[in-house]
A and B are shown apart, each in its own frame.
Chain A
Amino acid sequence: MIKQMIRLLFFLNIFFLVACDQSAKSDVASDISVLRKGNGPEPQTLDPHKAEGVPASNILRDLYEGLISEGADGQLVPGVAHHIEISADGTIYTLYLRETARWSNGDSLTAQDFVYSLRRSIDPATGSSYSQVLSSIVNVEAIIAGKLAVETLGVKALDDHTLQITLKAATPYFLSLLTHSTTYPVHQATVEAWQGHFSRPDRLVSNGAYRLADWVVQSHIALEKNTQYWDAQHSRIDRVIYYAIDDASQELQRFWADEIDWTESIPVGQVDWVREKFGNQLHISPYLGTYYYGLNVTRPPFKDQPGLRRALWLAIDRDTIVQKITAAGELPAYSWVPPGVMHYQSQPTADFKWSAQQRMAKARQLYQQAGYSAEKPLKLELLYNTSENHKRIALAIAAMWKDVLGVETELINEEWKVFLDHRKQLGQTQVIRGGWIADFNDAWSFAELLQSDNTMNNTGYANSKYDQLLSAASVESDLDKRQQLLQQAERILLQDVPIIPIFYYVSKSLIKPHVKGVEGNVMDHHYTKNLVIN
């Protein structure tokens, strides 16, 4: 009997190996050009109107093409629309679409497709979490609120290849918005055939330079060159594979083992080692994002205490944080809007130029004026989401507050979803970690976060003057005047200190030298069609 068992085990093993081997052989290897990218967590969907987050956006940029696209340097370039006319008051956009634009199944891409898609994107029945970014188009807010029918949206097809979009007011960043996935077209027949669940390899029809070839959930998403794409002759990479790797260390191991060409991130605290080991394969470039701490201004100790808030601002030695902790070329932040934003000069506070001693002296003075001392120290709770990086920064800042002012800070870390739930509770929070990455390249993307009625304003900050300036800026079509209004608003914001900016983000990736055509850009957007593999 034992012999039988051993024979059985042996047979099973052989069977298993043969089965594996055969299926391996079916994967025909050839010399096609393949780009393999680490892409962070698994995207939730590749439906451009429901997707959110950086990993999904990276893939969607290859799968779809919006009316406007971006070059390798991040500058706006024509997408499906080859020509655009904007009315004198900046509210009517007439977009002329390429007659050669096609869907991946060969169908012609028309203005009606865009009308259908934009309506679908806004329709509350779709369940898009990003539909609000399109609120500059006529009637969007009323449609989202269910007060108007989706057909009343300010978008119409003048003919098969001419689209007209009407805005509530001039919106200087509207062209940037047209690169956002919420504005991508979806193939109506496919969407309807699958009742919305169409973003799967055997179903998806897209209009970008690549089409969906394979999707193994929690493993990888593979795209292949879309031969129907109007500019297909310039796509030099045949296949791009996005690997779902949520752990930066694992991603680094796979890059090191030559299994991926491009990492999405670098493990925290290993930038120096990575730089030494991989040299110029490490790519670091400025990124439109600000790492900050939000202060809850609706309850003690920060309510009506701008001096105390300023003291905490001044006691943080940002140079030490960017040099010793993050250490990847991040810049210390003294303003809310980072440098590099289009049509905007950032507005750092005066202490930007002060020496460390000056800052500390002023911080101590303000701290005492607020009624605190060594005998009666301020006690704070600092809430952040569980992450090695956030922990190190929080520890350093708590130590700085302790050294300079004597503040006793209790660090509270919470798992991501718990944190998201907790940080909205204005009745409980004091200091909350935050990070804000621009959705589009415009100061508005930052400014709107601190509006009193913004649902993501977790500080409770409400200053009517700030809100008024933003309202004025939102209808101002003169770019210079608009910039002045937004700058004035930012100065008020920084004076009130509901937030303490700490540093401006950088994007960090390891890229193999055979990947050519990579240019750093502040949005960290990279289209595979702009790249080459040598």
Chain B
Amino acid sequence: MLWRYAFQRLLGAIPTLLVMIFIAFYLIHSAPGGPFDTEKTIAPEVRANLDRIYHLDRPLHEQFLYYLNSVVHGDLGPSFRYRDYSVNDLIGAGFPVSFKLGAVAMLLALVIGCGLGMLAALYRNQPLDYVIQLLSVGGIAVPGFVIAPLLILLFAISLRWLPAGGWETGRWSDLVLPIIALALPQIAYIARLMRGSMIDVLGSAYIRAARGKGLPTWLIVLRHAFKPAFLPVLSYLGPASAGIITGSVVVEQIFGIPGIGRYFVQGAMNRDYTLVLGVVVVYGALVVLANLVVDLLYAWLDPKVSY
């Protein structure tokens, strides 16, 4: 039953992705200027050649059908900007970097966010709760492009513990600051969610019964309260993955991380049509997938939900 549901959801995602590609395609093509507009003006014959090679001489709807056809065949096309690379090459190189960044940030957000939320709920209306609440409001309110330079100033320039940016293959220290910058807003949000739902759960009858049996608090929280209190956080993981993606666009740019978020920004500025569309396809598929996984986990965690 569960597999059938998952399969149906995946099928349902196809029209969503198609509409997304359609909108993104026409939006990026409607932006003024093109990939081959540069400070220098190219000789008309050379320009005509380039347009022909990249099918830009065809009507837009033909270009769209041509693009769609190649996407269906697993080919995201050649990059208009990086002439020696295809979009598949670029995403193949950038996606693992972004994924590593996003996945660790998400794990961190979950572990620390839930931990802080539980603490705040247990010490409700006490100084620790106020401190956690204050920090989480700050974490939500202060955007990544403010946090990131502050982290760089402190850890890279003053303390010299970590690099200010860049990416050497496999050097873990490059990832620390970007992950923190990416995870902070999510930690803050999850902590607030967890606190609220944990307070609700702790007030319910079966928890009072557990207390009455004399079970220690940590056991009550971990064994009985965590699972139901985690459900709102789980529902948030879909939007959170979207938040991590949009956050990574900024964070990768600030730290010079060669992930697909950075391609997205640079691609849009360079009018690298295929690269932008390729990233849109990957992001779209990722968000659809993340939402599906959350829904499936829901069924697993909450006995009231079944498919």
Contact = CB atoms under 8 A, between A and B. Distances in A.
A417 B269 contact: yes
A132 B85 CA distance: 26
Interface in A36-51: 41-42, 44-47, 50
A257 interface: yes
Contacts of B32: 417-418, 421-422
A196 B43 CA distance: 20
Given A146-B45, A420-B39, A456-B41, A218 B172 contact: no
A355 interface: no
B232 interface: no
Contacts of A219: 166-167, 256-258
Contacts of A216: 93, 167, 169, 258
A140 B38 CA distance: 22
Interface string B224-235: 001100000000
Interface stretch (B66-74, B156-164, B198-206, B288-296): B156-164
A218 B279 CA distance: 15
A420 B84 contact: no
B10 to A, nearest CB: 25
A517 interface: no
A149 interface: no
Interface residues of B, number: 63
A200 B85 CA distance: 8
A422 B32 CA distance: 8
Interface stretch (B18-26, B46-54, B55-63, B136-144): B46-54
Interface in A1-50: 1-2, 9, 12-13, 16-17, 20-24, 26-27, 41-42, 44-47, 50
Contact of B46 (A47, A128, A246): A128
Interface stretch (A248-256, A467-475, A500-508): A248-256
A40 to B, nearest CB: 12
Interface in A213-253: 216-220, 243-247, 249-250, 253
Contacts of B253: 247
A464 interface: no
B82 A217 contact: yes
A124 interface: yes
Contacts of A254: 163-166, 256
A417 B263 contact: no
A129 B38 contact: yes
A46 B83 CA distance: 9
Interface string B129-153: 0000000000000000000010011
Interface in A46-69: 46-47, 50, 52-53
B222 interface: yes
A259 interface: yes
A292 interface: no
Contacts of A20: 170-172, 175
B284 interface: no
B40 A217 contact: no
Nearest to A141: B43
B266 to A, nearest CB: 7
A52 B227 contact: no
Contact of B165 (A45, A217, A250, A420): A250
A417 B50 contact: no
Contacts of B282: none
Contacts, number: 168
Nearest to B81: A44
Nearest to A219: B258
B195 interface: no
B168 A218 contact: no
B198 to A, nearest CB: 14
B84 A197 contact: yes
B107 A9 contact: yes
Contacts of B270: 417
A491 B153 CA distance: 51
A247 B82 CA distance: 19
A45 B94 CA distance: 18
Which size class do A's interface residues fall under?
Answer: 35 or more
B239 interface: no
B262 interface: yes
A243 B256 contact: yes
B239 to A, nearest CB: 21
Contacts of A218: 94, 256, 258-259, 262-263, 266
A456 B164 CA distance: 40
A415 interface: yes
A217 B93 contact: yes
Contact of A417 (B149, B254, B271): B271
A409 B31 CA distance: 26
Nearest to A194: B84
A127 interface: yes
A259 B161 CA distance: 12
A16 B175 CA distance: 12
A280 to B, nearest CB: 20
Interface string A118-130: 0000001101111
B18 to A, nearest CB: 27
A131 interface: yes
B37 interface: yes
Contact of B170 (A27, A246, A422, A456): A27
A245 B223 CA distance: 49
A44 B83 contact: yes
Given A50-B83, A420-B38, A127 B46 contact: yes
A345 interface: no
Given A20-B170, A421-B33, A132 B43 contact: yes
10 closest Cβ contacts across the A-B interface? A23-B170, A417-B33, A20-B172, A219-B258, A455-B41, A218-B258, A257-B164, A129-B42, A421-B33, A418-B32
5 contacts: A23-B169, A24-B172, A27-B170, A50-B83, A245-B256
Given A20-B171, A253-B152, A420-B38, 20 more contacts: A2-B223, A9-B111, A20-B170, A27-B171, A45-B82, A52-B38, A53-B38, A124-B45, A127-B50, A197-B85, A218-B258, A245-B256, A250-B165, A254-B164, A254-B256, A259-B163, A259-B164, A415-B269, A417-B269, A417-B271
Interface of B: 31-34, 36-43, 45-46, 49-50, 53, 81-85, 90, 93-94, 100, 104, 107, 110-111, 149, 152-153, 156-157, 160, 163-172, 175, 222-223, 226-227, 253-254, 256-259, 262-263, 266, 269-271
Interface of A: 1-2, 9, 12-13, 16-17, 20-24, 26-27, 41-42, 44-47, 50, 52-53, 124-125, 127-132, 144-146, 197-200, 216-220, 243-247, 249-250, 253-254, 256-259, 415-422, 455-456
